[in-house]
Chain A
Amino acid sequence: MTDSSNIDAGNGANRWRRFADWDERPLRLDKFAVEDPENGFAAFRGARDPAPGVVVEGGRVVSMDGTAVADFDMIDFFVAEHHLDVALAETAMAIPSERIAHMLVDVAVPRTELTRLAHGLTPAKLAEVVAQLSSIELAFAFSKMRTRKTPGNQGHVTNAKDDPLQLAADAAIAVAFGFDEIETTMRVARNAWSNALACAVGASVGRWGTLFQCASEESEELQIGMAGFTSYAETVSVYGTERAFTDGDDTPWSKAFLAAAYASRGIKMRCTSGAASELLMGFHESKSLLYLEARCLCLQRAMGVQGTQNGGIDGAPLASSMPGGVRELMAENLIAAWLDLECATGNDARHSESEIRVGAKILPFLIAGSDLVCSGMGSILKYDNSFNPSSFNGEEMEDFLVLQRDFEADGGLTSVEEATALDLRRRAIDALAAVLSELGLGDPTSAMKRSVAVASGSNDTESYLPRDVVRISDAIKARGINVLDVIKALAARGFREEAQNLLNVVRLRVSGDYLQTAAVVRGGHVVSAVNDPNDYTGPGTGYRLSDARREELSAIRDVLTREEVLRTEAAFAGAEARRIAYRTLGVAAAGGPANEIVIGVSPAFGVKLYQTLAGHPLSAVLRALSDGNSAKGGTARIVRMRHTADTSFLGLSAARLAGSGIGIGLQAKGTAVIHQSDRLPHHNLELFSNAPITTLAHYRLLGENAATYAAGEMPDPVVVPTAGMALGARYHAQVALVYAIETALAEDGAKPEEIEITYLKAVP
């Protein structure tokens, strides 16, 4: 029996300390919630989710999802009136949900058949169908149902100071990485005009066609759009319950009016919705996240918007706190695509402190492809993101690029070379400075410009402060400066390419081609669900990487080549030649004194390869082994094996030559083994397999132990401690290239060569 007063609730003797380790993991900062449908905490099965159903009489919907027309709330009314196709509804609703779920994953059922069918399905039916799909089926159905064939991505461009110079530089970088859309917002609301102008200028550097929005108060956002600075809007939020909607200070009609207003100004627009917004706002009606989002999405199609950003958005962290919450986010993205809406698939508001959860969440959308994988990846550092940190941010940009390369999946982004990045930043900063000066808005100093060009984030800049920016922003607004003024200023100061690029974007609104579903601009052409429809019907169809695009995805920085390995070794050869000389004495004979061990080195040792993976010169390794050996009374003979490069066979062959029957096998990359002449090849005495973390002290101990074995005694085996690094990830590409150099020099049946070594000076 334990005395309960001795129980330490923390890290004492009565706790398995693994739990304390787990307590320290970032994951434990995430809070998880129990499923509680009555109180709105249910991803798929709400306490009061209605059963699907529709009744049509005399060409009008008289009941939908169990609610009679007399009891319709605003959302029911709008959905029944503007979403449901009454001619189709009863037939479509009669198809069993399991059957429709099969159709969603059946490659033989074309996407267009399903999008037509959706016109007759109610929110409860759509939710019931997708709820039947597993996570992998949801991802697969999404890849089949998403609207535009070519995937894309959207990035946030903001900073903590609302510094326009940094916005311009970061916008140019976001464009270079390939974002189809960039989105800014402000720390200080009245800086909207300055942010808009700065991003518009920055986005005109390098190429044209990146769409741009400035998330702001509704009417100001529309005014900024009318001044020509922005080309799209997406902060038109809708909600799945009436009370949440009115607390959001809108109705389906006011939002639909706004949708028409944006189109009337030639501005692309999508709505925002997503799981758990109603729960956050306190009006969930005990309904599931999925059912409420299905209402939002039917509403959006009913309003006639071309697309949505959903998949949690600001509610993603709350949705993810529930069982099945992340699967629900996938399910709601699928409903959006099924309703034929462009879908910017969330993956923005960071839903977890765990990098593993973040990486897992993005993967289905990366491999399925998405109209916009993130509805805002942070192209800037986390602390500079005025929306809040995204799943992926400036910090994790290269992780995303590598995921694309790993899965040969197009997430819309492309690597940017270091020199190019700096050139683009400088160009964007100069262009913006020219515009500010030409329009009498400011004259940034060269010190300001220099600090911004090289800054990773606003903590590193000596530039505009929020108060300076307020003055610039107010002036732009008060003087009615519009995009044509900016284009003229760019042209007047010699930035003609940028002036033309910016004009090209504004000119898009004349034809309105980019108002169609899922429109982006690629290579100077509008590409949308109309002229680039997702036509997936099975393997070999739909979006496939072209050879050129595959090459872009492969081209991340600092990739290893055989030439580079050889160059590095050659550079090391000279230094090593000043430390050690090898002389070949002829074929090595077997036998010697009883205290003799043989060190069998690999074919390229000191011939083509000169250092271990840990960076030790091979001369130093040989000296450490010999010193250790002689310290314990042994003598060492050095033999180069020419028939093998394998550690075990090097060691065993050496042991068979040694007077003591003990041999050391040593590869040029530093892997070493102690072997004994009567053992099986892969059953050695001691092995140093982690060459990258093996120190000279370890090699010395190995030499000592070999001598101890030779004397017939049992030493303490040498332990090379590992801190759990992913050594394979760090070294195996290099290992494979280095080892190929060794094996290329090995010849079947070649005899071992006796080597005489002269140390030319003290090994450092």
Chain B
Amino acid sequence: MSDPERRLGVCDYPLAERRPDLVKTARGKALDELTLAAVESGEVTLEDLRITPRALRDQADVSRDAGRPALARNFERAAELVDVPQDFLLEVYELLRPGRAKTKAELLEAADTLRASHGAERMAVFVEEAAEVYERRGLFTYRF
């Protein structure tokens, strides 16, 4: 996922000011195209005001360079979730809450979907890890 050609660091931050050339919206617009006039004309949509996987991976580079590897890993997981539809996102969140999944298989299935349909490898591994621990700690149990 990471692009070795484009390993950013603290010196590139804030990207919007130091590296505006690298900041593009999901539809390829540059930051300075996101004007009020463009909003009024309908040229800029909510889609243009979302973060991109690219931007999250760039921010992960910055975090790592700043000595914050755990934050970087979160941004990398987040990059995988950008294009995951809201409904499925909330469904996985719900499934990870205590007692929602009644069996380990339900969580493993969600992990498979994350991996297969959304290319979310890191997130899938993360959900699989949860499944292991939930089983050991007896979380697949009646709660309400």
Chain A residues packing against B (C-beta within 8 Å): 73-74, 77-78, 81-83, 112, 115-116, 218-219, 222-223, 226, 228, 242, 245-246, 249-251, 253-254, 256-266, 301-306, 340, 482-484, 487-488, 491-492, 496, 499-500, 503, 506-513, 515-517, 525-526, 528-531, 533
Contact = CB atoms under 8 A, between A and B. Distances in A.
B108 interface: no
Given A304-B73, A513-B13, A528-B13, 9 more contacts: A259-B74, A260-B77, A263-B78, A264-B82, A304-B71, A304-B75, A487-B36, A491-B39, A492-B40
Interface string B10-30: 100111110000010100000
B49 A219 contact: no
B129 A81 contact: yes
B70 interface: yes
A223 B86 contact: yes
A511 B78 contact: no
24 contacts: A74-B133, A219-B93, A246-B139, A251-B139, A253-B96, A254-B96, A256-B126, A257-B96, A260-B74, A264-B78, A264-B82, A303-B70, A340-B68, A482-B46, A488-B39, A492-B40, A496-B36, A503-B36, A510-B49, A510-B50, A516-B13, A530-B14, A531-B10, A531-B13
Interface majority SS (helix, strand, loop, mixed), chain A:
helix
A266 B49 CA distance: 9
Contacts of A115: 67
Contacts of A226: 86
Contacts of A257: 92-93, 96, 123, 126-127
A191 B92 CA distance: 26
A253 B124 CA distance: 12
B50 A529 contact: no
B51 to A, nearest CB: 3
B97 interface: yes
Interface in B23-73: 23, 25, 31, 34, 36, 39-40, 44-46, 48-52, 55-56, 58-59, 62-63, 66-68, 70-73
B51 A264 contact: yes
Contacts of B84: 264
A17 B127 CA distance: 65
B137 A266 contact: no
A226 to B, nearest CB: 7
Nearest to A249: B97
Interface in B86-133: 86, 89-90, 92-94, 96-99, 123, 126-127, 129-130, 133
A488 B40 contact: yes
Nearest to A496: B36
A220 to B, nearest CB: 10
A484 B49 contact: yes
Nearest to A219: B90
Contact of A263 (B16, B40, B56, B58): B56
A531 B92 contact: no
A503 B39 contact: yes
Contact of B98 (A78, A246, A488): A246
The 6 closest A-B pairs by CB, nearest first: A304-B74, A266-B51, A263-B78, A253-B130, A264-B81, A254-B96
B24 to A, nearest CB: 8
B68 A73 contact: no
Interface of B: 10, 13-17, 23, 25, 31, 34, 36, 39-40, 44-46, 48-52, 55-56, 58-59, 62-63, 66-68, 70-75, 77-82, 84, 86, 89-90, 92-94, 96-99, 123, 126-127, 129-130, 133-134, 137, 139, 143
A307 to B, nearest CB: 10
B19 to A, nearest CB: 9
B13 to A, nearest CB: 5
B39 A531 contact: no
Contact of B67 (A112, A256, A262): A112
A529 B139 CA distance: 38
A251 B97 CA distance: 6
Contacts of A529: 66
Interface centre among A73, A260, A305, A530 (most CB of B within 10 A): A260
B46 to A, nearest CB: 6
A249 B98 contact: yes
Interface centre among A302, A340, A511 (most CB of B within 10 A): A511
B111 to A, nearest CB: 11
Contacts of A533: 66
Contact of B31 (A256, A500, A511, A526): A511
A530 B13 contact: yes
Interface centre among A253, A301, A496, A510 (most CB of B within 10 A): A510
Given A77-B133, A261-B89, A525 B74 contact: no
Contact of B34 (A264, A503, A516): A503
Interface centre among B17, B72, B90, B133 (most CB of A within 10 A): B133
A688 to B, nearest CB: 65
Contacts of A517: 63, 66, 68, 71
Contacts of A78: 133
Contact of A304 (B14, B23, B72): B72
Contacts of A82: 70, 73
Contacts of A219: 90, 93-94
B71 to A, nearest CB: 5
Interface centre among B10, B51, B79 (most CB of A within 10 A): B51
Nearest to A78: B133
B34 to A, nearest CB: 5
B74 A510 contact: no
Nearest to B49: A506
A487 B39 CA distance: 8
Nearest to A85: B69
A304 B63 CA distance: 10
A301 B133 contact: no
A520 B19 CA distance: 19
